[in-house]
Chain A
Amino acid sequence: MAVVSASQTFLAPQKFERTLKSLRSALGEMDVEVIAEFPLGRDVTERGRTEARLLLVSSAILEFESVALGRAAAVFFPLHVLVAAERNQTRVSLINPTELFEGRLPMGVSEPMDRLVARVVMAVESVAPVPSGSYYDVHSEELWDD
């Protein structure tokens, strides 16, 4: 599925608030800013209510490189990063929106977006070093199919 292949998930061996704080710091070191954030807090798993936060992150210079040839490229910014508590660990997921579509991308957006994703992945890996697809592997059918 395109959504799965466009997303990456990592597991941090620490609790939600600590991971969030470390991630903010790591993103800052990569010159990635948190543009906006949304607290999410519904039942994400059958185990009960899970604290989660959606971070919208970006980099001004990469935005500029993308929109220099046309404003349509701006629809891909900022990047979405979902941070969700899972027991004593924290799951961090991100999605590369340029990989969701088979259609032709606006000119100039691919390379800056790939660089933004790479920066964000490096930041995430510094706090959540374990790549994990297990959540989606286990729950994808019950979550996604009607």
Chain B
Amino acid sequence: MFGDTATCTYLLQEQFANGLKRIRGALEGAHFAVAGELDLSGRMRRKLGVGLPPCLVLFAAPREWMGAQGAGDPTLDLLLPIHVVVAAAGFHTEVHFLRSLPRTESGTSRVVSDLQATVSRAIEKIGMRKLED
């Protein structure tokens, strides 16, 4: 229960708008497409009248998956796209995403694990890992 967290967090020394731009660029550089996004803070404001600092969930998937309209593997198609959360944190920007699946799992899990590792490497290039998690 007190072991590693299921998510990991990186910090960008930039405000939200610039941070978001750099994260999109980093994902594109890793051959991922942002297939869509959930504007979580905007949705909270519209639906619930609650004000939150900017927070988006980016739906990131390999360009091949987007181009081919799926992987042809129902389990892999169920696990993609990968969610990358971009949230304002004062004058900085936080990025959250899931840690890799255990690699001892099935072939599909290994594929997803590799994709998550690719996302992780892309974000590592532009942000610092937060140690609190």
Contact = CB atoms under 8 A, between A and B. Distances in A.
B75 A136 contact: yes
Interface string B93-133: 01011110110011111100000000000000000000001
Interface in A80-138: 80, 82, 84, 91, 93-95, 97-98, 100-106, 135-136
Interface residues of B, number: 52
State the main secondary structure of chain A at its contact with B.
Answer: mixed
Given A72-B133, A74-B57, A135-B74, A42 B69 contact: yes
Nearest to A140: B106
B100 to A, nearest CB: 9
B74 A82 contact: yes
B70 A71 contact: no
Interface string B1-35: 11111110100000000000000000000000001
A144 B78 contact: no
Q: Interface size class for chain A?
A: 35 or more
A103 B3 contact: yes
A2 B38 contact: no
Contacts, number: 160
B72 A43 contact: yes
Contacts of B94: 71
A60 B48 contact: yes
A95 B78 contact: yes
Contact of B97 (A36, A58, A61, A75): A75
Contact of A144 (B44, B52, B77, B108): B108
A84 B2 contact: no
Contacts of B87: 71, 74
A76 B48 CA distance: 20
B78 to A, nearest CB: 5
A71 B55 contact: yes
Contact of B70 (A52, A93, A95): A52
Interface of A: 1-3, 7, 35-36, 38-44, 52, 54, 56, 58, 60-61, 63-64, 67, 71-72, 74-78, 80, 82, 84, 91, 93-95, 97-98, 100-106, 135-136, 140, 143-146
